[in-house]
Amino acid sequence: MRTLQIDVVALPLARPFAISRGTRTAVTVIRVTLEQNGFIGQGECTPTARYGETPESVQAMLEAVRADVEAGLSHDDLQQRLPAGAARNVLDCALWRLDAARTHQTLWQKSRFSQPPSVVTAETLSLDTQENMALAAAEAVSRGAILLKIKLDRDAVLEKVAAIRAAAPRATLIIDANEAWSGLDLESLLVALKAYSIAMVEQPLPAGQDHDLQRFKHPIPVCADESCHTRADIAELRDRYEMVNIKLDKCGGLTEALAMMEAARAQNMRVMVGCMLGSSLAMEAALPVAVNAEFIDLDGPIWLAADSSPFLSYSQGRIWL
């Protein structure tokens, strides 16, 4: 017999985190603990308002399937019982870890991927003034950051990028617009950004309103984030995007994330693995997908005032495993 424990945990941030949709000083996560015959599996998810989720709504979804989970709900059955999103993610990851524990395996062994010594992860530059973003970039590279992800809205885009590039001349730079570039001349903007050796631009237009990306050849690869949730989305996005961002909280867990990786490959699309704000417990679950991605953005824990077990090690622009 299994038992299911659900905990709602508030995690203060070490500093404000700002994107085009607003600023946060804390994040609320849901943690699940499954226990079965002395073996334990845990998961963590971050309910996201952009997708109509709250901690209360996710908790209610988990309570609705409690009886089935405690009766032995399988991975496959879970995919049918809950829709893609945070609630399914937290249960799926807990089931992966429980199954690994019961078979005396690590998550790496269970997923059948080799564990590397480390992976490069992006360090995010929160949306701020041009001067503060340049200072943040300089500080990040002084600590060894290799890949910087720049959060931007529609204001002073080129000025901010120029200042950041001057502060971090050797870093790889990627941009996340979080759907904020409606009404801008995208073709001209991407051409101008190419001069700063930008490696990728993420979700410049709102999901469902991104057809303008079809009309011109992109001088910089464009990545779908809010437009891409599950494998079912991928084939229809290939005429607008070169890359998809796989996030466990969007797609509903490691099971779907691995399927998305294969679906993207089948469409000759490149892959990024991202995250919501959260602890190492959430980031570790995404690593079997991340090792197969071109860009990894799993820096959630470095924004927290205090991390949680399994305490991944972040230094020199890498997650050390």
User: Between helices 186-194 and 157-167, what is the axis angle to 10°?
Assistant: 10
Cis peptide before 310 (omega within 30 of 0): yes
Task: Give the integer Cα–Cα distance in Å for 136 and 125.
Answer: 7
Q: What is the DSSP string of 222-275?
A: EEESTT--SHHHHHHHTTT-SEEEE-HHHHTSHHHHHHHHHHHHHTT-EEEE--
217 is catalytic: no
149 is catalytic: no
Q: Which residue has the tokens 């360090």?
A: 123
Task: Give the integer Cα–Cα distance in Å for 172 and 145.
Answer: 9
Of 149, 151, 160, 250, the active-site residue reads: 151
Among candidates 232, 277, 278, which has minimal Cα distance to 251?
232
> Could you give the C-alpha distances from 241 to 51, 53, 228, 234, 311, in angstroms and in order?
21, 26, 10, 9, 34
| Tokens linked to 166 | 């001057």
What is residue 143's three-state secondary structure? coil
Of 149, 160, 247, 250, the active-site residue reads: 247
Active-site residue list: 151, 247
